[in-house]
Structure formats: structure tokens, C-alpha cells
Amino acid sequence: YAEKVTERDVLHNTDRLNVANHPYSDDDDVLNEVEVNGNWTPQEKALHEARLKAKAKRRLRKSSSRNSTSESFSESGEVVGGDPHSPKGKVNTNDRKSRTGKGRGLPKKGGAGGKGVWGAAGMVYEDEEPDIHDPNYDESSQGDTVYETVVPEIDEKELEKMVNPIVQEYFEHGDTKEVQMLLKELNLGQHKYEFSSLAVSLSLEGKASHRELTSRLLSDLSGKMLSQSEMGRAFDKMLKELPDLILDTPDAPQMLGQFIARAIADHVLPMSFLDCYKGKVDCEHARVALDRAAVLLSMKREMVRLDNVWGVGGGLRPVKHLIKEMNLLLKEYLISGDVSEAEHCLRDLEVPHFHHELVYEAVVMVLESKGDTATHMMMKLLQSFWKTGLITVDQMNRGFQRVYDELPEISLDVPHAHSIMETFVDLCYQESVITKQLRDACPSR
């Protein structure tokens, strides 16, 4: 038994030396058979199996690396001559030669390819713009993106619906900058010149203050949003539409002539605008409008006075001017006695919030007049304004109350002012011009 153990140890030591010196020798199989026939313990047998597996892995690794460079592809795409146990497509990643087996064996891209390589020597790269059709194109990563709002051009049929509210609101606030801002938001396109004709048409149906505001609007828009040629096209269109405008506004030819004269004075239209129509106008209404404009422009100093061709709107007039106009209105009434003309003049002033001044001036004229003629005429005038609603209760009360407050000062110039005032107040109360409370509020001497 001792001899057998010694022999086994010798063989075992010899095997270890052979494995260390020749890890891949062909005598391994013979040695394995001798060892298997020996009497091993379970631990030695497990160690032996582990060693066999390690040898197999080393043999497999060596054979796969030896055959990787000699693999070729068949026509069907299968690898020929490769190890069936090796991973499919296992290649050397550091090799820059073609992996398809084609070509002359030169490196790809002339040796300028690969990770972290800037390219071949002397190559200059230009900045390439990103392609929108690139699948990897990212719009958010292309820097600051500017989005432009595209407003579609307004149709000729929709133009009137869009412009009318703008012009009507302008007649209320009178701010030309607001109109310019609203027009910039609209894409009028080729119909931009028609804004002027629509604004003038609307003002013909309105008041004198509306026509004055329209003339100012055309003056502010000229050179900024509308050129002289576009203004000329607008007025030319209105001259052709005069037969239709007369149906709603009988005085349209004269008013349009005043618009043309005012536009030429404000340099909205060229000075040669009227010369283009000499001997070329067949419409009778258009000739009336052009003749009216020519007369206004040919009068002496009329170019300066054309600023007031429409008069000044009530809210835009100074207070002193309004007081002067109302005094003139009352004096003309005392001379003519025409109530309707006085009412027409008061409406043209367009100052319903300032009608208390008319009441005040009328009562003061009664106190300063001699005789009863002025008293009865002023009572008749106030009664007419009261019945038509031209002067409201508030305006009537404010006018009389102002006279009540200033009666002590008026008495210095008119000694009998208190008695005249009491007589006039009683007469107005009897004719239902003032209320009982206002009559009782009259101060007595």
C-alpha cells in the first residue's frame, strides 16, 4: 500500500509539472485516463473536473483568436471556417481594415476615421446647417427660435366689417394712434387705400365733428401707413361713388369737395390732384365736388382757414370760444326771432354738457335788457328747448342756479336785478320751463 501511494504521488506531481510547462500539450488525455483509473477522494475528483473545464476554456479562447482573421463569408452570409462555439461576429475592434473581406485591405477613410479622430491632415471642415429632414433634428436645440405670426389678408367683403367698428370708436375717443395700432394688426394688403374711402363715407353720414376728426386722421396716416398715391385712389373711388352717396347724404358732393380741399391743404393729396380731372369728368356730381374744392383753394388766405372748414368739435373747443358762440346765437335770435335757426346752431355746437351756459347767458340778457320784449322772447326760446329735450332738467337748473349765486354782483350794475329776476322766474314757472323747487330757490331782496 505504501508503494501504491508513492506511485500515485509521483504521477500527480509529474502531471502538475507538465501542466505548468505545457498547458496545452496533447498528452493531457492519456494523463487524464491514468488519473481517472486511480483511487481518488471526492475532493480530488472535484478539483480534477475544475481543471479540465479551465483547460477547455483556454483551448477554446486560443482557437477562436487564431481563426478570427481567416474567416470568410459565403454567399448566403454564413461564416466559413469559424469555431461553432465562438460568439457570432466576434472581431477585433482595433482593426481598421474592412470587415467585409472586400477592397484592397486599406484602412477605412484613409486612416482618418475612428473615435476621437479629427480627420486627415490638412482637411478643413465647414459649418453644416442642420437638415430639417434629419431624423435626429431637434428644433429646440437650434438656438433661439423666432416665431412669426402670419395674419391672412382681409378679403374685400370683410374689410368693411372690420373697419366700421374701428372708425366708429375713433369718433368717440379721437385718438389717431389707437387707430394706427389697430390697422397694423390687420393685413389689409391691396385694399389698404379703401380704409380712407370708408372713413370718409361714414363721416358724411355723421356730424361736423366726425368730419373734422376724419380729416385729422387722414393727415396723421399720410406718409406713415398711406401714401399720397393711395389717398388719391381713395378719393378717386369716392368721386365715382357719389351717385350712390347722394341717396343717403344729399350734400355729399359739397362735403367731398371740402374733404379734397382740406386734404390738399394738409398735404395728404398732391397739389396737382385737381389738374388730373380737368376736362375728364362726365359725372355732374363729381364736377360739383371738384369745383367746390377748387373754389376753396383759390380764395385768398383760404389755405390757412381750411383748418376750420368743418368747424371745431364741441369737446375740442375752448370755453371762451363756446361762450362767444352762444352769445352770438342769442343776439341773432333777439334780432330774427327764429327759434328753429337758434336750435340748429345750438345742435351744431355739439356741447350738450355745456348747455347750462346758454341758460345762464339768456337769463343775464333778460336782466340787462330794457323792456319786456327780451323777457318774453327768452322765455319762448327756453320753453322750446325744454320741450324738444335739447336742454335737460339738470342743465336748466344749473343755469338758473349760477344766476342766483351771482345775483348780488349783477345787482351792482343792474339795480333792479332782483325784481326782474323774480318776474322772469314766475313767468318761466307758469310756462312749465322750470320746476317749483327752482322757483322757490330764487333769492329775494
> How much is the pLDDT for 313?
55
pLDDT value at 83 more than 70:
no
* Amino acid identity at 409: E
Same domain for 250 and 167, yes or no, is yes
- The answer to whether residue 118 scores a pLDDT higher than 50 is yes
Residue 380: pLDDT over 90: yes
| Whether 300 and 167 share a structural domain | yes
Q: What is the pLDDT of residue 332?
A: 92
C-alpha cell read off for 3: 508503494
| Position 247 in a domain | yes
Does 168 score more than 50 pLDDT? yes
Give yes or no for residue 183 having a pLDDT over 90.
Answer: no
Q: Answer for the pair 227, 194: CB distance below 8 angstroms, yes or no.
A: no
- What's the average model confidence in pLDDT over 144-162? 77
Percent residues over pLDDT 90 in the chain: 25
Domain boundary among 308, 329, 346: 308
Per-residue confidence at 76, pLDDT binned at 50, 70, 90?
very low
In-domain check, residue 145: no
Are 293 and 327 found together in one domain?
A: no
**Pairwise pLDDT comparison (104 vs 316), residue with the higher score:** 104
Specify if 186 maps to a domain.
yes
Tens-digit pLDDT profile for residues 211-248: 888 998 999 988 888 888 999 999 999 999 999 999 88
pLDDT classification of 348: cutoffs 50, 70, 90: confident
- How many other β-carbons are positioned within 10 Å of the β-carbon of residue 213? 24
Instruction: Report whether 367 contacts 375 (CB < 8 A).
Output: no
Q: Is 403 exposed, middle or buried (CB count within 10 Å of its CB: 0-12, 13-18, 19+)?
A: buried
Closest CA to 387 of 332, 328, 443, 340: 340
Which residues are 222's β-sheet partners?
A: 226
The C-alpha cell that represents 248 in the structure block: 343717403
* Confidence band, pLDDT 50/70/90 cuts, at residue 99: low
Claim to verify: residue 301 and residue 321 sit in the same structural domain:
no
- Do 382 and 411 share a domain, yes or no? yes
pLDDT at 382: 93
Integer Cα distance of 361 and 206 in angstroms:
29
Helix, strand, coil shares, percent, the chain, to 5? 65, 0, 35
**pLDDT at residue 45 greater than cutoff 60:** yes
Judgement on whether residues 44 and 177 belong to the same structural domain of the protein: no
Is residue 129 predicted with pLDDT exceeding 60? yes
Give yes or no for residue 187 having a pLDDT over 50: yes
210 and 281 both lie in a single domain: yes
Do 279 and 400 fall into the same domain?
no
pLDDT in tens, 193-208: 888 899 999 999 888 8
For 323-342, write each residue's pLDDT tens digit. 888 999 999 999 999 999 99
What's the domain count of the chain?
3
If one compares 1 and 8, the residue with the highest pLDDT of the two is 8
pTM: 0.49
Please tell me which residue, 245 or 97, carries the higher pLDDT value: 245
Contact 120, 111 (CB under 8 A): yes
Residue 236, Cβ density class (10 Å: 0-12 exposed, 13-18 middle, ≥19 buried): middle
SS (H, E, C) 117-144: CCCCCCCCCCCCCCCCCCCCCCHHHCCC
Q: What value does the mean pLDDT of the chain take? A: 79
- Residue 283 belongs to some domain of the structure: yes
413: Cβ–Cβ under 8 A, 6 or more apart, which residues? 368
- pLDDT value of position 152: 76
Q: What is the DSSP string of 237-296?
A: HHHHTHHHHHHH-TTHHHHHHHHHHHHHHTTSS-TTTGGGGTTT---HHHHHHHHHHHHH
Q: What is the pLDDT of residue 24?
A: 43
- Averaged pLDDT for residues 102-117: 69
The DSSP call for residue 274 is G
CATH of the domain at 376: 1.25.40.180
Domain boundary among 262, 278, 308: 308
The pLDDT of residue 1 is 39
Q: What is the mean pLDDT of residues 101-118?
A: 69
pLDDT higher than 70, residue 88: no
* Domain of residue 24, residue span: 2-65
* Mean local confidence (pLDDT), 294-322: 68
Query: What is residue 308's predicted lDDT score, i.e. its pLDDT?
Result: 67
Residue 361 in any domain: the answer is yes
Coil/strand/helix, residue 386 = helix
Predicted local confidence at residue 162, as pLDDT: 87
List of residues 6+ apart from 241 with CB closer than 8 A = 197, 201
Query: Region 79-92: what's the mean pLDDT?
Result: 50
**Percent of the chain at pLDDT exceeding 70:** 75
3-state secondary structure of 113: coil
147 belongs to a structural domain: no
Domain check: are 296 and 195 in the same one?
yes
Q: Is 72 strand, coil or helix?
A: strand
Final residue of a structural domain among 289, 308, 327: 308
302 and 174 fall within a common domain: yes
Same-domain status, 302 and 177: yes
Q: Are residues 328 and 396 in the same domain?
A: yes
Domain membership of residue 92 (yes or no) is no
- Per-residue pLDDT reduced to its tens digit, 261-275: 989 988 899 888 888
